[in-house]
Chains A and B, each alone.
Chain A
Amino acid sequence: MTSTNTELKVIGQQLPDLLLTAHHHMCAGCGEPLALRGCLESISDLGLSQRTIAVAGIGCYTSFSMTTDLDLVQALHGRAPSVATGVKRMLPDSIVYTLQGDGDMVNEGLQEVLHAAARGENITCVLLNNGVFGETGGHMTATTVLGQRTKNSLEGRDATYHGFPILIGDLIAQLEGAAYVARGSVHNAGSVARTAKMFRRAFETQMRGEGFSFVEVLTMCPTGWFIPTIEGPQYMQDTLGEVHIMGELKVDGVIHTTEELHAQNVLKAAEMEKALARGGIDA
């Protein structure tokens, strides 16, 4: 090999442009930084860095408000979509997105996001769904799937005692005001790349002014699930991934069924594996 460092072509840069430092407070094996990378990269790729305003909820990801190079408003627990509504109505030229966890959005502020979606507010809501209250130590949330073991459902979530999980993506897809609804996942490199595209389409929907856009991302929380970090992705696939099916739930007003999403996922997974084996998703 005669090549030197100067001839090397950068394929993947270390940090997204909109993140100031790689240091963060997330635990080892956390899926939230992966989702955040896709979100921030799609903002800078679309050239929206100077007019994007983020609204952060309460959760582990809130610590990124100190290192994200964007204008950012801190909302009360669960109230981010309402704050985002106010920001967007006062500054219609700005691009507004909210960053929330499942405890924040589905437990604490379910009505805020449902009403924002029903009104067809021209904002983007991002949900980082890990099925537990990660920040407080792994308690059950409304999106915890049946049978999943958490700190206050030690025998697994039981429908007769704890009730059924809320599939927030499917719920929002039914609303007229929602223009784009997608559910991503970060269980492997291919799905991270797919999720990044979903973020891009959501922001494009907002740029066109079509209405409410929503991206849910299933993220690992090995600390909250009490499992080794290495088992995180597979565990997520077996529990959350079986109920919250990855895919684009609503595009251009057409709602896709679970069966359609399943078929799409099988196809996409095979494509991604081939691309990675060839030597790169972009190759």
Chain B
Amino acid sequence: MGLRLTSCDNTLSGRGTVIIDTEICKGCELCIEACPPRVLTMSSVVNRLGYQYPELQDGCTGCAACQLFCPDFVFEVFRRPRAPAPNKENQS
């Protein structure tokens, strides 16, 4: 299979995040339309196969719609642990 490149930026905020296996993407853009918060955009550069691939912006909710709707098995979806509510934090 060779090199497996992924794009995952930990500096992004949001309840969820995704790992995008950019090298197997065929650039069909179905995920762009499928994303409910619309936080995926197509890249300006191309992968080794010559296709543009999706990139994640701020605000992912971790709903996994992209993973469900990707024909090329590109996405792996994660949800971040919920930050404790501020008032509860003060009590404990």
> Is B76 within 8 A of A14, CB to CB?
yes
In the complex, residue of chain B having the shortest beta-carbon distance to the beta carbon of A22: B73
Known: A10-B77, A12-B77. A229 touches B65 (CB 8 A): no
Q: Known contacts A10-B76, A28-B72, A233-B30; can you find 6 more A-B pairs with CB under 8 A?
A: A11-B64, A12-B75, A230-B29, A232-B28, A232-B30, A281-B64
Known: A11-B64, A230-B28. A22 touches B72 (CB 8 A): yes
Assembled-state Cα–Cα distance A282/B33 (Å): 20
**A interface footprint on B44-69 (CB within 8 Å = 1, 0 otherwise):** 00000001000000000111111111
> Is B16 within 8 A of A11, CB to CB?
yes
> Is B36 within 8 A of A277, CB to CB?
yes
**A283 proximal to B (CB < 8 A):** yes
- Inter-chain contacts of A233 with B (CB < 8 A): 30, 33
- Inter-chain contacts of B69 with A (CB < 8 A): 34, 186, 188-189, 192
- Inter-chain contacts of B13 with A (CB < 8 A): 1
Known: A230-B33, A233-B33. A33 touches B73 (CB 8 A): yes
Assembled-state Cα–Cα distance A28/B81 (Å): 34
Assembled-state Cα–Cα distance A171/B14 (Å): 48
Q: How large is the interface on A (under 10, 10 to 19, 20 to 34, 35 or more residues)?
A: 35 or more
**A interface footprint on B8-28 (CB within 8 Å = 1, 0 otherwise):** 001001011101010010111
- Inter-chain contacts of A13 with B (CB < 8 A): 67, 76
Would you give the shortest CB distance from B66 to chain A, in whole angstroms? 8
Known: A22-B73, A34-B69, A188-B69. A14 touches B61 (CB 8 A): no
> Is B80 within 8 A of A33, CB to CB?
no
Interface residues of A (CB under 8 A from B): 1, 3, 5, 7-15, 19, 21-24, 26-34, 37, 186, 188-189, 192-193, 222, 229-230, 232-233, 276-277, 279-281, 283
Known: A7-B81, A9-B79, A280-B63. A28 touches B36 (CB 8 A): no
- Inter-chain contacts of A29 with B (CB < 8 A): 26, 28-30, 71
**From A7, A14, A31, A277, contact of B73 by CB (8 A):** A14
Known: A5-B10, A192-B68, A233-B30. A10 touches B73 (CB 8 A): no
> Is B71 within 8 A of A34, CB to CB?
yes
- Inter-chain contacts of B80 with A (CB < 8 A): 1, 3, 7-9
**B1 proximal to A (CB < 8 A):** yes
- Inter-chain contacts of B72 with A (CB < 8 A): 22, 24, 26, 28, 33
Assembled-state Cα–Cα distance A122/B74 (Å): 35
